[in-house]
Structure 1
Amino acid sequence: MDGLRYAVVGALLAILAGCDKGESLEAFGGPTMGSTYSIKYVRTPGTPAASDVQPQAESILGEVDRQMSTYRSDSDIERFNDLPANSCQPMPEPILHLVRTGEQLSQASGGAFDLTVEPLLNLWGFGPQARQVKVPDPMALVQARQRVGHQHLRIEAGQLCKDAAVQVDFNSIAAGYTVDRIAGRLEQLGIHRYLVEVTGELKAAGRKPDGTPWRVALEEPRDDQQVAERIIAVDGFGVSTSGDYRNYFQQDGRRYSHTLDARSGAPITHHLASVTVLDPSALMADGLSTLLLVLGPEEGWDYAEKHRIAAFFVMREGDAFVTRSNKAFEQLTPVKP
């Protein structure tokens, strides 16, 4: 769902013919959340065809859109966002689950990660209600920051409540959550070898019919062309890349990214261009990649090491890029460049 972040992770996959075990590679996809989704899985005797699986996947996509989209006024979260301070609204459990996850990430990052940054996104020109893309007036920024902060949210008896006029934006975690939901549904259907991708967030499990792993290309964080920075094999993990490229503006010779640090109320200014995270949960990979990107090349690296997060960092160095990956990442990614 993260249309703001354009966290691009390209899947390098070959459509394979059926093998002598009665296995075949099924594939389908389509538009969703302002972007696309794609699902590939190994069909074995007794498992459903793509024509039966696709409606179930799209039902999940539709549910997430109705509940969490900030680009439709009738979604559950946008109706909540329209409420004034000191209001409550009954919410479906998936939204409450994501709010709890957001609170966990916010507290762990000292407030750098925050789900309530929508007023700031709109002010800087990156949100669903943005008027123009420019550096905001300092007074307007002060006023917007008064409406930001996870501490203004609370959950009471199935209701989401707020004590300030905050607005929740799930774009940093909703796509990963959706990937987990679809992967879980495939498992329920007896499908255990698959690659699920939603707006760039993905999860892969098992191997393809020929026995080779699912291979994923991590893109160099460029806004002019697509170049594979590294190719990795993935089995049993969610993969998320967050970057400051493709959605930014320049003013007075300075670059302003769509990725905001909730602590300052402004776009990040460090030289960390993208972060890829692997985690058993695509939801957590999604949120953690954003968290590390906001924290930056030093603080983010230390956080990943402390919490044993498998992370791959790409930093700008002049007109080039330099990469850095930790031991946890290398242990999970046997395919080399």
Structure 2
Amino acid sequence: MQDLLKWRLYGLVILIVALSACDNGDSLETFGGPTMGSTYSVKYVRHAGLPAPAQVQVEVEKILAEVDQQMSTYRSDSDIARFNQLPANRCQNMPAPILELVRVGEQLSEQSEGSYDLTVEPLLDLWGFGPQAREEKVPTAEALAQVRQRVGHAHLRIDGDQLCKDAAVEVDFNSIAAGYAVDRIAARLEALGIGNYLAEATGELKAAGKKPDGSPWRIALEEPRDDQQVAERIIAVDGYGLSTSGDYRNFFEQGGQRYSHTFDARTGAPVAHALASVTVIHPSALMADGLSTLLLILGPERGWDYAEKHDIGAFFVIRADTGFVTRTSHAFARLSGEKTE
């Protein structure tokens, strides 16, 4: 597949103890492969009557191929890439999933007062982070002002089955497409009768049920370090999606200042605050994916207030003079069994 999510971060480490078949005949089946410029994996408990891994893998990869064909900004023939190539004041027929994600993006944009936006791809390219980027550098004020005219969810409109634009905007689903794919995979697994599974794509995941020995699926939240993966803490997940967004692995420095790949659409510039990463737990992997990005954009204060106001399960890792400090929202503590700050 093409690189749909080339810049995804890996803030979640899946802890699975290798298990052989149990006395009741249940076994832990595992498969995976490349997707969206990264990888995916599926683990599920198989018992009599459930399909073999090869059959399940075919079903999962159909979903991933469809998402890639519809939403990749790294292939010129995808539905969204063709839309992005259109000039202003044009419309294009779109499959239902794209229209669904545009509506989700509109919701998140409104709730963040425009800080979160699906149309920031021209900004990503300008600063050196996007699929059409040339080099990582701080743009001139003139170049930034010109590109900002092509950014803003208000320039999009859904008309029946068509997506329309009144400016030459470009839509980028990188902040929600993987979560959407995981939700689709989870729904397909359940339709096949699989109730105990862990599905992951590019680091976004959803888990339900138990492992063959009856223990929970356990997920390690990664400490924001450039050199290695270190578990910050471990939580059990059952029936929830989990997503981490962070700025600690994709950035550049110029003039002694650090510029991350996370953009505030209101300013047209990378965020400049102390929030290193946010993990969100939510019944929907799609919403966990989008909300983790939204909270990262808002920062340690605005993001915390937003999470508490909207009862969002969020775990914040914040840079401090002595390293990192963490904050756990009340909803995250409730859903994961953790204690609040």
Shorter-chain TM-score bucket reads over 0.9
The RMSD of aligned alpha carbons is 1.0
Structure 1 residue matching 2:77: 3-state secondary structure: coil
Structure 2 residue matching 1:126: 3-state secondary structure: coil
Counterpart contact for 2:8–2:202, Cα < 8 Å = no
Residue 49 in structure 1 maps to residue 49 in structure 2:
no
Q: Distance in 1 between matches of 2:22 and 2:8?
A: 39
Partner of 1:300: 303
Q: Distance in 2 between matches of 1:335 and 1:55?
A: 37
Number of corresponding residues: 336
Counterpart contact for 1:3–1:199, Cα < 8 Å = no
Q: What stretches of structure 1 move > 4 A for 4+ residues in a row?
A: none
- Of 44, 48, 68, which aligns to 1:65? 68
Counterpart contact for 1:149–1:166, Cα < 8 Å = yes
Q: Distance in 2 between matches of 1:299 and 1:89?
A: 36
C-alpha deviations, 1:256-296, integer Å up to 9, x for none? 00000101100010000000000000000000000000000
Q: Distance in 2 between matches of 1:11 and 1:264?
A: 36
Q: Distance in 2 between matches of 1:5 and 1:293?
A: 14
Q: Which amino acid aligns with 1:254?
A: Q
Residue 332 in structure 1 maps to residue 335 in structure 2:
yes
Counterpart contact for 1:5–1:258, Cα < 8 Å = no
Partner of 2:11: 8
Partner of 1:154: 157
Q: Judging changes above 3 Å, is the alpha-carbon distance between structure 1 residues 202 and 289 closer, same or farther for their aligned structure 2 residues?
A: same
Cα deviation for residue 2 of structure 1 reads 3.7
Cα deviation for residue 8 of structure 1 reads 2.5
Cα deviation for residue 221 of structure 1 reads 1.1
Q: Distance in 2 between matches of 1:127 and 1:8?
A: 21
Counterpart contact for 2:332–2:338, Cα < 8 Å = no
Cα deviation for residue 143 of structure 1 reads 0.6
Matches within 5 A, 1:104-253: 104-253=107-256
Residue 78 in structure 1 maps to residue 81 in structure 2:
yes
- Of 311, 316, 328, which aligns to 1:313? 316
Q: Judging changes above 3 Å, is the alpha-carbon distance between structure 1 residues 2 and 230 closer, same or farther for their aligned structure 2 residues?
A: farther
Cα deviation for residue 326 of structure 1 reads 1.3
Cα deviation for residue 307 of structure 1 reads 0.3
Q: Which amino acid aligns with 2:230?
A: V
Q: Distance in 1 between matches of 2:322 and 2:262?
A: 21
Between 14-23 and 260-269, the greater mean CA deviation after superposition = 14-23
Q: Which amino acid aligns with 1:232?
A: I
Structure 1 residue matching 2:300: 3-state secondary structure: coil
Structure 2 residue runs of 5 or longer lacking an equivalent are none
C-alpha deviations, 1:33-61, integer Å up to 9, x for none? 10000100000111101011001101100
Cα deviation for residue 318 of structure 1 reads 2.4
Partner of 1:89: 92
Between 64-73 and 219-228, the greater mean CA deviation after superposition = 219-228
Structure 2 residue matching 1:297: 3-state secondary structure: helix
Partner of 2:21: 18
Q: Which amino acid aligns with 1:313?
A: F
Q: Which amino acid aligns with 1:195?
A: L
Q: Distance in 2 between matches of 1:5 and 1:263?
A: 22
Cα deviation for residue 142 of structure 1 reads 0.4
Partner of 1:276: 279
Structure 1 residue matching 2:295: 3-state secondary structure: helix
Cα deviation for residue 335 of structure 1 reads 6.7
Identity %: 71
Structure 2 residue matching 1:84: 3-state secondary structure: coil
Structure 1 residue runs of 5 or longer lacking an equivalent are none
